Chains A and B, each alone.
Chain A
Amino acid sequence: MAHIDQSKIRNFCIVAHIDHGKSTLADRIIEKTGLLTSREMQAQVLDNMELERERGITIKAQTVRIVYQAQDGEEYIFNLIDTPGHVDFNYEVSRSLAACDGAILVVDAAQGIEAQTLANVYLALDHNLDVFPVINKIDLPSAEPQRVIDEIEDVIGIEAQDAPQISAKAGINIEQVLEQIVQKIPAPTGDPKAPLQALIFDSLYDAYKGVIVFCRIKEGTIKRGTMAHMMATKATAEVVEVGYFGAGQFIPCEELSAGMVGYFTASIKNVTDTRVGDTVTDKNYPCAQPLPGYKKVNPMVYCGLYPADGAKYPDLRDALEKLQLNDASLQFEAETSIALGFGFRCGFLGLLHLEIIQERLEREYNLDLVTTAPGVIYRVHKTNGEMIELTNPSNLPDPSEIEYMEEPFVTAEIMVTKDFIGQIMDLCQERRGIYLSMEYMEETRALIKYELPLNEIIYDFFDALKSRSKGYASFDYEMKGYVQSSLVKLDILINKEEVDALSFIVHESTAYERGRKMCEKLKEEIPRHLFEIPIQAAVGNKVIARETVKAMRKDVLAKCYGGDITRKKKLLEKQKEGKKRMRQVGNVEIPQQAFMSVLKLDDK
């Protein structure tokens, strides 16, 4: 492909609420453009991680370049950049959007606009993308395309009357979408002769080629031999290969010039050198300014990850290192717990990110993990003027050294049908929410805004929201900032000994309730010992809740009948096996699942 006419390129993405059919539409577009035959199509080509396909969500941005023969007889190149769909990956979404010139908004013909629809469409508009809507799932019996079209016009304020009404699943009216991509999404601009300015929107580690950097060329040209310079991380490396994305494969080419989307490799060993959002330029012919919008994403949620079998510690470290090669936002550092031994304090973008990493460690690396309660980063302002960012509750300074503490708050938007407004407001109130506003989107649905402590939503807020609204509420949030708060450290004492791995930071007003539930839960989890075991929840020196595991007084096997020793031994072995999965804290053996049970203190 010697020369590419910039006016025939379309760089776009698809935005949608989860489950509204984004990935399915992407599949259809790829299929219809003829790059792949129907037979080659695997369902959902873009989501190529096993886990992504299973959960039906997109975790990492995926990109594909396809060729479309339009009705005007011209051949167009489409670069479809599939964006992650979850709030945890908000920054990655925003960088993917910055790599596009337009976006397709997919809205479910039955469900209409949801919280994430709004969040994503506003994000796209913020990036000056031209957005055109597509009404999906028109083949559903409950589809109401006209109502949804009106809703889009009313709520978002974009033209929707000529929106293609499609079924991505059934392949209905996909051509209309393709034509509108040509007509409604602008061609890229930029001067191929200008100094190189390329936006990194993702990267991937390959064992042979090193880091594969996904980028959008805004200005200039990149080719083999270019001295690529990452302006924020200051890393420099000579480009070995450039190319574009086939479906699931990398296709090398001569060069990438302004307006194009593709990749380059430069024997870079570490993804942390190629941060998403950074600008790549030519060291020998640099651009004056980096592209706007780069920021280093920091983890929002922390927890301790420990191998269930202490001997697997090096394996866990290796696995985390490997995952980090592809995921610059995953952070970890070694820590030690008296109860759990050697492990890692890990930082994640959010709870979903945490769950995904945890699942990948267990599944792909065969590790059995013990996870401690996830927490957010608290800011502790000490009396000596020092401020520390607290990620592990055990490191909280003595109360006498603390001037005050702050915790992160988010602004949450919850979209809910009229009938459940009361329940949802109760829920937000219970979670220490601060009411901001409520507006009706249409007669039956409202958008409620709350400020909520991040701490209160990382555990089970989403589940609670779904169950209290019978699945009708949707939710999105963004970071607001830090707010001063009355926080205390809740310690759990088992048989009078503090168990560090069970401590957590909690708001003063909920400490008692949480402490009581923890004790109850632990009482169920801890087996009886030869002695009585008090379980206490304490704030400072004050015990606020207590339960007792009664002593085991009797455990005798009766008859050993007719000399059946084998059966007796099996019973003893079963008992012994149970013990192996225990953690010894002082004199008490605590089952590993007890450390995780604290994550599930659902109230309703």
Chain B
Amino acid sequence: MINKNAGLYLHIPFCMRKCSYCDFLSFPAGEDNREQYLKQLMKEIKERSLLLEDRCVDTVFLGGGTPSLFDGIQIGRLMETVTKYFKIEKHAEITMEMNPGTVDEGKLMAYKTSGINRISFGVQSMQEKELALLGRIHKVEEFRKNYQLARRLEFENINLDLMLALPNQTLQDVKYNLREAVALKPEHLSCYGLIIEEGTPFFQEYQQQELRRQAGEERVGDVLPGEELEREMYQWTCEFLHKEGYEQYEISNYSLKGYECRHNMKYWERGEYLGLGLGASSFLDNRRFSNVTDMKEYLSIDIGRMQEELVAEEEVIDRQAAMEEFMFLGLRKTAGISKKEFKDNFGAEYKQIYQSVHERMVHLGLLREEGDRICLTRQGIDVSNYVMSAFLL
């Protein structure tokens, strides 16, 4: 009996070259390795599809890495396996992340045929100098060309990933990038602030800079925008996109009406999803679990017999953890959370659990209550970590 929907995430941990800011589970690999991985992933799909036995898959997301390193045939095989072992809903949203420098007409056509109906292009910037600085492999023109190709092939739901607060970036740069991006009329835009993550080349570079700066030295090399500038960029982005008809539905996500990313919404709304592939995370039956992150280990597991060896971490989400998640995930959405939904889920009033935090945050101007809904204010979004951590019990 099928009474529930779930998402499906497939992780493709390969890229042409590691970008300077990237700390995701991804690395360059040869064709042999990629083929070996694909086979193992297809095996995992087959063996673990039982986990969604009584569920209908209404969103699929091929993320990475760079899934578009796989050619049309490979993606075709993958999607064939997916459709064979899962019950895919008729109007399912099937997204594939693509690096604009790795696709061509042939590939796009094949992807389309295999069932992909939503593209997420990792554009990041509309300027060459910024792309070079980030260590991206594609050129602006390449992206433009492939975007138009995708449109011609009737991809009707396209997202563009853009980054804010890049080194040396000015507000003018951000305005340029956004205007250029919006001129292409994508259905969806993700605008993330660059975060300097530990273990990336950027981290080393900017940590050293910070040390030099503290030592009172003159500024050398590329300079990250200050917090004030970053806020301005963010602010401008929200206002501009709003004017252009894009609704901000989550801290970093904007879309035309009806084009919100349904897969990502599952994350914020605590919907269920199964993640397959190296390091992929899942949330099913109140359990969060994730796969091993070591490629060698992943490939060596005999999934047919020792399925459980795939799981590296597992956590049962109890009532308290569920309430915390409900809050800190729900508040990422501009619509915030519903008090009624809270009560329906947990059998307790929102205020009963969170009265003092709520009042403090409202008093600080970070949280807003509107009828049934509680959401972050403009300022609350700026310091969302601060607010969300307060909702941990």
Q: Chain A: residues with CB nearer than 8 A to chain B? A: 530, 552-566, 568-569, 571-573, 575-576, 579
Q: Which residues of A contact B280 (CB under 8 A)?
A: 562
Out of A554, A557, A560, A569, which one reaches B382, CB within 8 Å?
A: A554
CB pair A562 B11 closer than 8 Å: yes
Out of A555, A565, A566, which one reaches B385, CB within 8 Å?
A: A555
CB pair A530 B384 closer than 8 Å: no
Q: Could you list 20 examples of A-B contacts with CB < 8 Å?
A: A530-B364, A554-B230, A554-B382, A555-B382, A556-B382, A558-B193, A558-B194, A563-B7, A563-B9, A565-B281, A565-B283, A565-B325, A565-B329, A566-B315, A569-B328, A572-B328, A573-B389, A575-B389, A576-B389, A579-B389
Out of A555, A558, A560, which one reaches B267, CB within 8 Å?
A: A560
B378, chain A: closest CB distance, angstroms: 12
Known contacts A530-B364, A563-B9, A563-B273; is A556 also within 8 Å of B392 by CB?
no
CB pair A556 B281 closer than 8 Å: no
The total of Cβ contacts below 8 Å across the A-B interface reads 95
Q: Which residues of A contact B73 (CB under 8 A)?
A: none
Known contacts A562-B9, A563-B281, A569-B325; is A553 also within 8 Å of B315 by CB?
no
Q: Which residues of A contact B101 (CB under 8 A)?
A: none
Q: Which residues of B contact A568 (CB under 8 A)?
A: 328
CB pair B290 A554 closer than 8 Å: no
Instruction: Scan residues 288-335 of chain B and give those whose CB is less than 8 A from a CB of chain A.
Output: 288, 290, 313, 315, 324-325, 328-329, 332
Complex-state Cα separation, A573 to B385, whole angstroms: 10
Whether a CB of chain A sits under 8 angstroms from the CB of B227 is yes
Known contacts A530-B364, A558-B252, A566-B313; is A575 also within 8 Å of B227 by CB?
no
Complex-state Cα separation, A530 to B385, whole angstroms: 12
Whether a CB of chain A sits under 8 angstroms from the CB of B132 is no
CB pair A576 B390 closer than 8 Å: yes
A185, chain B: closest CB distance, angstroms: 62
CB pair A561 B386 closer than 8 Å: no
CB pair A556 B275 closer than 8 Å: no
Known contacts A559-B252, A566-B290; is A572 also within 8 Å of B385 by CB?
yes
Whether a CB of chain A sits under 8 angstroms from the CB of B155 is no
A579, chain B: closest CB distance, angstroms: 8
Q: Chain B: residues with CB nearer than 8 A to chain A? A: 7, 9, 11, 24, 61, 63, 192-195, 227-228, 230-231, 251-252, 266-267, 273, 275, 279-283, 288, 290, 313, 315, 324-325, 328-329, 332, 364, 366, 379, 381-386, 388-390, 392
Nearest CB to that of A571 among chain B residues?
A: B385
CB pair A566 B288 closer than 8 Å: yes
Complex-state Cα separation, A572 to B332, whole angstroms: 13
Nearest CB to that of B315 among chain A residues?
A: A566
CB pair A556 B193 closer than 8 Å: yes
Complex-state Cα separation, A569 to B267, whole angstroms: 13
CB pair B24 A561 closer than 8 Å: yes
CB pair B384 A557 closer than 8 Å: yes
Complex-state Cα separation, A555 to B386, whole angstroms: 7
Out of B195, B266, B364, which one reaches A558, CB within 8 Å?
A: B195
Q: A558-B194, A562-B280, A573-B389 are in contact. List 18 more A-B contacts (CB 8 A).
A: A530-B364, A552-B386, A553-B228, A553-B231, A553-B382, A553-B383, A556-B251, A558-B192, A558-B193, A564-B290, A565-B281, A566-B281, A569-B328, A572-B388, A575-B386, A575-B389, A576-B390, A576-B392
Nearest CB to that of A529 among chain B residues?
A: B386
Nearest CB to that of B383 among chain A residues?
A: A555
CB pair B328 A559 closer than 8 Å: no
Q: Which residues of A contact B332 (CB under 8 A)?
A: 560
Complex-state Cα separation, A210 to B252, whole angstroms: 70
CB pair A562 B328 closer than 8 Å: no
Q: Top 5 nearest A-B pairs by Cβ distance?
A: A575-B389, A572-B389, A576-B389, A555-B383, A555-B385
CB pair B195 A569 closer than 8 Å: no
A38, chain B: closest CB distance, angstroms: 55
CB pair B389 A564 closer than 8 Å: no
CB pair A562 B392 closer than 8 Å: no
A565, chain B: closest CB distance, angstroms: 6
CB pair B385 A556 closer than 8 Å: yes
Complex-state Cα separation, A565 to B283, whole angstroms: 9
A69, chain B: closest CB distance, angstroms: 69
CB pair A569 B383 closer than 8 Å: no
Complex-state Cα separation, A572 to B387, whole angstroms: 10
Complex-state Cα separation, A571 to B328, whole angstroms: 12
Q: Which residues of A contact B231 (CB under 8 A)?
A: 553-554
Q: Which residues of A contact B195 (CB under 8 A)?
A: 557-558
Out of A530, A559, A576, which one reaches B383, CB within 8 Å?
A: A530
Complex-state Cα separation, A572 to B360, whole angstroms: 18
B138, chain A: closest CB distance, angstroms: 19
Q: Which residues of B contact A561 (CB under 8 A)?
A: 24, 63
B22, chain A: closest CB distance, angstroms: 10
CB pair A572 B281 closer than 8 Å: no
B361, chain A: closest CB distance, angstroms: 10
A263, chain B: closest CB distance, angstroms: 56
Complex-state Cα separation, A568 to B290, whole angstroms: 14
Complex-state Cα separation, A379 to B251, whole angstroms: 61
Q: Which residues of A contact B315 (CB under 8 A)?
A: 566
Q: Which residues of A contact B381 (CB under 8 A)?
A: 556
Complex-state Cα separation, A560 to B385, whole angstroms: 13
Known contacts A563-B267, A564-B290, A573-B389; is A553 also within 8 Å of B227 by CB?
yes
Known contacts A560-B267, A563-B273, A575-B389; is A555 also within 8 Å of B325 by CB?
no
CB pair A563 B283 closer than 8 Å: yes
Complex-state Cα separation, A415 to B256, whole angstroms: 82
Known contacts A565-B329, A566-B290, A572-B392; is A556 also within 8 Å of B383 by CB?
yes
Nearest CB to that of B64 among chain A residues?
A: A562
Complex-state Cα separation, A563 to B281, whole angstroms: 6
Out of A556, A563, A564, A576, which one reaches B384, CB within 8 Å?
A: A556
CB pair B385 A557 closer than 8 Å: yes
Q: Which residues of A contact B388 (CB under 8 A)?
A: 572
A500, chain B: closest CB distance, angstroms: 24
Nearest CB to that of B329 among chain A residues?
A: A565
B300, chain A: closest CB distance, angstroms: 22
Which of B231, B283, B379, B392 has the most CB atoms of chain A within a 10 A radius of its CB?
B392
Q: Which residues of A contact B63 (CB under 8 A)?
A: 561-562
B61, chain A: closest CB distance, angstroms: 8
CB pair B383 A554 closer than 8 Å: yes
Q: Which residues of A contact B252 (CB under 8 A)?
A: 558-559
Complex-state Cα separation, A563 to B332, whole angstroms: 13
Q: Which residues of A contact B192 (CB under 8 A)?
A: 558-559
Complex-state Cα separation, A562 to B63, whole angstroms: 7
CB pair B193 A555 closer than 8 Å: no
Out of B228, B288, B390, which one reaches A565, CB within 8 Å?
A: B288
Q: Which residues of B contact A556 (CB under 8 A)?
A: 193, 251, 381-385
Q: Which residues of A contact B273 (CB under 8 A)?
A: 563
Complex-state Cα separation, A555 to B381, whole angstroms: 8
Out of B193, B275, B383, which one reaches A563, CB within 8 Å?
A: B275
CB pair A554 B227 closer than 8 Å: yes
